[in-house]
Amino acid sequence: MGQKPKALTILDWITGILFITAILGVFFYAPLEAVMGWVQKVFYFHVAAGWTGMLGFLVSAVAGVLYLVKKDPRWDRIGFAGVEIGMVFMLICIITGSIWARPIWNTWWTWDPRLTTATIMELIYAAYLLLRQGVEEPDRRARFGAVYAIIGFISVPLTFLSIRIFRTIHPVVIGSNDPGAAGAFDMTPRMMQVFMFSLVAFSFIFADILWHRIRLGALADHVEQKKIQLQTWGE
Amino acid sequence: MKNSSPSLWKATLAIVWKDLTAELRSRELLTSMLVFALLVILIFNFALELDARARANITAGVLWVTFTFAGTLGLNRSMAVEKDRGCLDGLLLAPVDRAAIYLGKALSNWVFLLIVAGIVLPVYSLLYNTNLFQPGLILVILLASEGYIAVGTLLASMAVQARTRDILLPILLFPVVIPVLVAAVKASSGFLEGLGWVDVSTWVNLLIVYDVIFTAVSFMVFDFVVEE
Amino acid sequence: MDTPANTIHYFFAGYAVIFGSILIYIINLIGRWRKLKRDAAMLEELERTRQTS
């Protein structure tokens, strides 16, 4: 693989600075919420991580479509990278949400539509990884991955909708399923600024990691091709 | 694809016909799906203590778990047979539209699942002394099984081409059919409890939306799954 | 005025998870990158010996 592009190094630095600024903003600039106290500060990065996760899955679905149209392995690498990064950040979102729910809703877990959908998304993309693992031929693996990334992504809004209707018809047993009822808060201007800044910072983190992950994918494909070449040669 | 639609339907029906006559001869697919479905109900009987009071609430759940599991069994088998006997390659080489292969396989899988449902319903009614033959429930079964089969046929044709094929299909299929299952269970139990159309229509609408979207998308991407 | 609930432990736990996960993922990526680089170098070496022999 070629040298690391200069633009990527610059992006690394910008991302690092933005991330540190966001952390400082959350820790010191954002005011302490009057009722929930410190744990409310988890909210900024919790939402930002969820946003990053959705970005990753969106990228994988779009890359899936483009791969099927263009048959360029680069789109396959982008799609795969999107899924992997999406899974990492969605997991962060679920766990931090759970940590936030414990003191506020008095439970680690509720079958709230957003939580449940996020978990089902993790399962969908875990299935995506298993599917890729089960197919050896690179071209077929890429096609199957693209198809499943598209199908999986389309099912997400319907899953969310179905659980949402399910919840509103059903009585809620523990806590409240609606954040508007418990744990809601009005954002002060400072909170809003920190929140928006976190979203921007995490978008940069996403772009930066995505680029690195795509380069890793390219290297992996290169090594795989070399291996196949040498094997066929040896026979 | 549009200009070949008359032959598309002919080819589709030919594939359905082939599957049905082959099944009529061997009966292996339907028999195993049926035996499996009855076993699932039997296990539920002991696992959940299906007494009269509990039954009304959970019948819908038991039915849909049964259909889902029996459905995966059938889907896997139906696509694996094509793959193993080289029929899939044969079909691909034949001068038919790929779309016809998808439609044909999906239709015959749908028919199989409906046959299983058609036998499970009276048996369940008999065993537990309820009447499951209600037009609402039958409508739900038709709609939900269509969505399930539309995605299932697509994913099964990917799963059988993978190394880990026997375990792959449920893992791929279940997370994406959750909306179908939620809607089907809620709509079925609504109809069984005798709720009015107003209470159930949301779920039926959701099923229709799912069916339309996923049949269209699966139909469009199937080409890429069987490409050589 | 009420004082906010004492939830600082949850705050620390939350940020430990966020930083920890990102860090672990980045370390994992670096590890995979190094391993692939080694593999690539090895394969290149193999290719050269094959060509000369």
DSSP C19-42: HHHHHHHHHHHHHHHHHHHHHHHH
**pLDDT (mean) for A77-89:** 96
pLDDT for B39-83, tens place per residue?
999 898 888 877 766 676 688 899 999 999 999 999 998 888 888
> What percentage of residues in chain A have a pLDDT greater than 70?
90
Give how far Cα A233 sits from Cα of A225, A228, A229, Å. Answer: 12, 8, 6
Structure tokens at C25: 């993922």
Domain containing B166 equals 2-226
ipTM for the assembly: 0.89
pLDDT at C34 over 50: yes
Structural contact between residues C13 and A42, judged by C-beta atoms closer than 8 angstroms: no
pLDDT: which is higher, B18 or A185: B18
CB burial of residue A10 (10 Å; 0-12, 13-18, 19+): exposed
Distance from CA of C51 to the nearest CA of A (A): 11
Contact in structure between A113 and A152 (CB atoms under 8 Å) = no
Chain C residues with CB inside 8 Å of A82's CB? none
For chain C, say whether A35 makes contact (Cβ under 8 Å). yes
For chain A, the average pLDDT equals 87
Name the residue among B187, B12, B148, B140 with its Cα closest to residue B69.
B148
pLDDT at A192 over 50: yes
Which residues in chain B show pLDDT less than 70?
1-6, 52-54, 56-57, 228
Token code pair at residue A76 = 């396959």
Selection from A3, A2, A1, A7 nearest residue A211 by Cα:
A7
What dihedral do alpha carbons C27, A141, B70, A150 form, nearest 10°?
Answer: 80
Q: Number of C-alpha atoms within 13 angstroms, CB side, residue A194?
A: 25
| Nearest CB neighbour to C36, from listed A46, A212, A223 | A223
Give mean pLDDT, residues C21-47. 92
Reduced to 3 states (helix: H, G, I; strand: E, B; else coil), residue B94 is coil
C-alpha distance from C50 to closest chain A C-alpha (Å): 9
pLDDT tens digit sequence for A3-13:
788 999 999 99
Neighbours of B65 (CB within 10 A): 16
Three-state DSSP at B96 gives coil
Q: Say if B168 is an interface residue toward chain A (CB within 8 Å).
A: yes
With tokens 């694809």, the residue in question is B1
Of A134, A143, A162, the CB nearest to B225: A143
Indicate which of A24, A83, A226 best probes the interface with C, i.e. most C CBs within 10 Å of its own CB. Answer: A226
Q: Which residues pair with C38 in a beta bridge?
A: none
Start-to-end C-alpha separation, chain B: 19
Tell whether the model's pLDDT for residue A2 goes beyond 70.
Answer: no
The answer on pLDDT for C44 being more than 90 is no
Question: Alpha-carbon distance A151 to B117, whole Å?
Answer: 26
Is the pLDDT at A184 greater than 70? The verdict is: no
- Report the SS3 class of residue A212: helix
Mind telling me how many Å the CA of A229 is from chain B's nearest CA?
A: 21
A110-114, A122-126, A159-163, A221-225: least confidently modelled range:
A110-114
Question: How does the average pLDDT of chain B come out, rounded?
Answer: 87
Name the residue type at position A142. A
> Hey, which residues does A37 pair with through a beta bridge?
A33
Q: What are phi and psi of A37, to 5 degrees?
A: 75, -145
CA–CA separation, B48 and B55 (whole Å): 9
Q: What phi and psi values does residue A85 have, to the nearest 5 degrees?
A: -65, -40
Q: What is the DSSP letter of A41?
A: G
- A165–B206 CB contact, under 8 Å: yes
Q: Please give the pLDDT value at position B195.
A: 80
Q: What is the DSSP secondary-structure string of A94-126?
A: HHHHHHHHHHHHSSS----HHHHHHHHHHHHHH
pLDDT in tens, B85-100: 777 777 777 777 788 8
3-state secondary structure B128-191: HCCCCCCHHHHHHHHHHHHHHHHHHHHHHHHHCCCCCHHHHHHHHHHHHHHHHHHHHHHHHHHH
Summarize pLDDT for A146-180 with one digit per residue, the tens.
999 999 999 999 998 888 888 765 544 444 445 44
Of residues B150, B160, B21, the one with CA closest to residue B89: B160
- CB-closest option in A134, A151, A163 to B217: A151
Tell me if chain C has a CB within 8 Å of the CB of A222.
yes
Residue A92 has pLDDT above 80, yes or no: yes
pLDDT for residue B193: 83
Contact B172 A131 (CB under 8 A): yes
What is the least distance, in Å, from the CA of A158 to any CA of chain B? 6
- Residue in the block written with tokens 């860090």: C23
Q: Cα(A131)–Cα(B158) distance, rounded to whole angstroms?
A: 9
Contact A212 C4 (CB under 8 A): no
Q: How far apart are CA A158 and CA A60, in angstroms?
A: 18
C41: which residues sit within 8 A by CB, 6+ positions away? Answer: none
- What is the C-alpha separation between C12 and C18, in angstroms, rounded? 10
Q: Is A174 left (phi over 0), alpha (psi -120 to 50) or beta?
A: beta
Q: Which of A32, A213, A222 sits opposite C4 (nearest CB)?
A: A32
Task: Tell me the C-alpha distance between A203 and B38, whole Å.
Answer: 51
Query: Chain C partners of A99 at a C-beta cutoff of 8 Å?
Result: 10, 13-14, 17
The tally of domains found in chain B comes to 1
Asked if B178 is an interface residue toward chain A (Cβ–Cβ < 8 A), one would say yes
Stretch A60-75: mean pLDDT: 95
